[in-house]
Structure 1
Amino acid sequence: MTTEPLLHQARELSERLVSLQAPIRILDAVNWDRSVRETFFRYQGERNPEVDRDYYANRPLGFEPAELRQAFSDLQRDVVRQLGQLNPMTQYMSKMCREYRDVIRMLEARGTREFHNLSVELFGDSHDAFHAGEPTLAELADMLQQPLAGLLASDQMPEEPKDIPAAEAMRRLQAQVDASMPDVPVQIMLSDGILSDAAAGSDRIKLNQDVLFSQRELDILEVHEAWIHVGTTQNGLAQPWLTCLSKGTPSATITQEGLAVLTEIITLKSTPRRLAKLVNRVQATAMASEGATFIDIYRHYMAQGVSEDAAYTMAQRVFRGSTPEGLPFTKDLAYVKGFVLTYNLIRVAIQLGRIDRLPLLLVGKLSIDDFRLITELYDQGVIAPPKFVPPHFRDLRGLTTWLSFGRFIGQLSFDQLERDYGSLF
């Protein structure tokens, strides 16, 4: 039985965890600054960027690694001593402490092969398979690439024009989010310091001020960044005891991105080009794992008709934290990997008649592997239900019907369907 004093102890320990992880900014620590881009294009993109271990050594992490690792070890020890080794709260917070220690080690190893090795431990590898004998992530990406190529070549599915300046995009997205998340404070703002088109924080979404947006992209940002990333952060902050649910470890990032991609698809906001971008990230990571350099990946994107600037940005995502001739940072596998894991969890929940559990995916930033602990803590009253729930999780009838029917259709032979229907086209 969880007593009130024990819950207050858990809250104090959780707040310590939140405080300890505050200075850890993975992407800030691994991204390359603007001068690297400028030098690359000064040489017309003919030689690899000038990034090595010394480059990272001159970019402070903002914390002393040995001290912070020790602080996480001390916290984990106190969690066990105060809450008990078998307590599910202990198991959850202990796992977070271990992951953050691994993150610190990974950031210490920037510019070395060990950085890649620790990245694989935290985010996975492109050659991982979900089960023995099944396709790897890289093979799944190749399988998705084939139908997407046909869709992208079709004149019937043109992409919406990117003609909305960032300032106007900010105003439009703010209005959309205010309407769909009226009880959640979300601020849309402009930034010149992010690598991607947009990035979510705990209560804000930054838009790259140098980018033009389409309305479709704003719709995707609403459901991906606002509903999932900001929404789950705010749900975690609203927890009465385990406020650390507002902070995402690498394993939680995989589930977060999977939920966000699934949400794009379920709400019909995603596009073939958007999915192709996610597939390309897996393929580029796989290429780098097999020895491709920055220049190889850059030219790979250029051959697909991508602009020089976009090709640089996409290649940089693969090698940030590493070197242009080194092995990749594998975080970009999270989108496809997380989608598969999350999709399968929801399908099994439907099959077992436990759809009532699905909103618990939104109580904070959690990993699929944590789901059993989360449900146990929810049943004990330690974890509160999510404060914000997106429409497709609020009313599960559409989601469960779609996935149930999809399971039935998936059992039909597609080869036979092609023979039956192919002549009609």
Structure 2
Amino acid sequence: MPKKNLKPSAYLVEVKTLSDRIVKAQQPIRILDAIKWDDHIKQAFFKGNCKNLPLVTPEYYLNRPLGFDPKEKKHEFYQIERALVRKLGQLNPLSVIMRRICREYQDVVNMLEARGTPAFSNISQELYGSAQDVFHVGDPTIADLGTMMEETLSQLLKLDFLLEDPKTIQAKDAVAILNEKIEGLFPGDGLRAMISDGILADSAAGTDYIKLRADALFNMRDLRVLEVHEIWVHLGTTLNGLAQPYCTFLGKGPPSATITQEGLAVLMEILTLSSTPHRLMRLINRVRAITLTEQGADFMDIFTFFRDKGLDEEESYTLSSRVFRGSSPDGMPFTKDLTYIKGFVLTYNFMRLAVSKGKPDRIPLLFCGKTMLEDMKVLVDLVEEGTVIAPRFLPPQFTDLMGLSAWLSFSRFMSSMNFRQLEQDYANVL
């Protein structure tokens, strides 16, 4: 008996050691910091009356050091890969997952080395996807989804009674409101909201914080979206990942985990009725912009696309630079902004299938940390054996699965109905 108890203990110690090596190796990699455009690029663009492509070349990125040696970093992840095979074996499920993560981080380093060149976007598409990807065999592409949703949302945005409230809450006041929410959910865990001048979006989540851009304005619905999106999902899964005793890599997600993370966050907005047609249109516009860029549009084309959507020059520049950051203004896109809609569809499909198969208990495991859908079957076994612990924090909608299961139980039947026929049958009703 004592020997049997020692073997799993030694195994788990090895798992933690190797997992910690991955966490440490990825620490200096800051993708968004490495690819963002400095303020002087923006200032020069506006000085030219927004008529010329921003002056971003491969040489520009050479002046933005990565903070690590790319060759050494790739070798470090390769060494961890080799250690995983030697210590855990070729076919061990955790070994397979952690080796895939190591290879993904090597791809990230290759992508950052290729900033300003066509290879950058090629690797971005491998990591985050392309607008031309299909969700499943025979299904529409991400670009098709963007087009279909744009048609529906455009109709809704014409309705006066769906107008959003004015944005009158300053960032400093928004931070105070969000910190009150954080303290209520995670008392004493050191998580916080804070102001930052160095982000493109109005907000962004870090390891243990939410950053709000200093000059951004919000309304109360915006703050509700931030609560369920950033706090419940991003900070919540970080907390759950950091609580893992052995699989510490679940506290730090590689790009493929971004798809599940953003999918969960958007799904949370929908489930709580926090989102709006305006919010969804902003996400769809990003999909449309990436689609157009993959089809050959340059920065000026995308800038004009956003201006034609009624956005001012400042916001049009910000959103356009999101598409081309890391690339060149006449190159292919950085495709991370596809993950919101792509992740929503994939995560929603996972949940409705889990319910239809009588396995709704699988759904909360998405919150164990920075998880990936392809690992969920393995994750179930890992939780059962104690290698991974169940999520410490769950949003209210996932603590009691009865309501969610009831709602999702209709989804298979509803999705099988012919929408075009429904339109005809309901023509005299609507």
Question: Does TM-score exceed 0.5, indicating one fold?
Answer: yes
1:184 is displaced (CA, Å) by: 4.5
Structure 1 partner of 2:395: 390
Secondary structure at the aligned position of 1:383 is classed as: coil
Q: Distance in 1 between matches of 2:247 and 2:25?
A: 15
Structure 2 partner of 1:61: 66
1:419 is displaced (CA, Å) by: 3.1
Structure 1 partner of 2:313: 308
Per-residue CA distance 1:96-153 (angstroms, 9 max, x = gap): 1010000000000000000011111111110011233321110111011111001111
Q: Distance in 2 between matches of 1:412 and 1:95?
A: 39
Structure 2 partner of 1:285: 290
Larger mean Cα displacement after TM superposition, 132-141 or 42-51: 132-141
Structure 2 partner of 1:225: 230
Question: Which residue among 359, 364, 369 is the counterpart of 2:374?
Answer: 369
1:12 is displaced (CA, Å) by: 1.1
- 1:43 lines up with 2:48 in the alignment: yes
Could you tell me whether the CA contact under 8 Å between 2:352 and 2:411 is conserved in 1?
Answer: no
Q: Spell out structure 1 runs of 4+ moving beyond 4 A.
A: none
- 1:320 lines up with 2:325 in the alignment: yes
Structure 2 partner of 1:105: 110
Q: Distance in 1 between matches of 2:68 and 2:13?
A: 28
Structure 1 partner of 2:124: 119
Structure 2 partner of 1:83: 88
Unaligned runs of 5+ in 1: none
Q: Distance in 1 between matches of 2:260 and 2:407?
A: 21
Secondary structure at the aligned position of 1:207 is classed as: strand
Identity of matched residues, %: 50
Q: Distance in 1 between matches of 2:310 and 2:200?
A: 20
State the AA in 1 paired with 2:156.
Answer: L
1:410 is displaced (CA, Å) by: 2.8
- 1:257 lines up with 2:257 in the alignment: no
Per-residue CA distance 1:68-114 (angstroms, 9 max, x = gap): 00000001111111112221121111111010000000000000000
Q: Distance in 1 between matches of 2:269 and 2:190?
A: 21
Larger mean Cα displacement after TM superposition, 173-182 or 270-279: 173-182
CA-based RMSD of the aligned residues comes to: 1.3
Structure 2 partner of 1:8: 13
Question: Which residue among 403, 414, 418 is the counterpart of 1:413?
Answer: 418
Structure 1 partner of 2:250: 245
1:183 is displaced (CA, Å) by: 6.5
Q: Distance in 2 between matches of 1:145 and 1:235?
A: 35
- 1:145 lines up with 2:154 in the alignment: no
Structure 1 partner of 2:275: 270
Question: Which residue among 30, 34, 45 is the counterpart of 1:29?
Answer: 34
Q: Distance in 2 between matches of 1:88 and 1:10?
A: 11
Normalization by structure 1: what TM-score?
0.98
Normalization by structure 2: what TM-score?
0.96
- 1:344 lines up with 2:349 in the alignment: yes
Could you tell me whether the CA contact under 8 Å between 1:374 and 1:383 is conserved in 2?
Answer: yes
Q: Distance in 1 between matches of 2:359 and 2:188?
A: 28
State the AA in 1 paired with 2:266.
Answer: V
Could you tell me whether the CA contact under 8 Å between 2:57 and 2:328 is conserved in 1?
Answer: yes
State the AA in 2 paired with 1:269.
Answer: S
Per-residue CA distance 1:212-249 (angstroms, 9 max, x = gap): 11111111011111111111111111001011111111
Could you tell me whether the CA contact under 8 Å between 1:170 and 1:189 is conserved in 2?
Answer: yes
1:355 is displaced (CA, Å) by: 0.7
Could you tell me whether the CA contact under 8 Å between 1:164 and 1:213 is conserved in 2?
Answer: yes
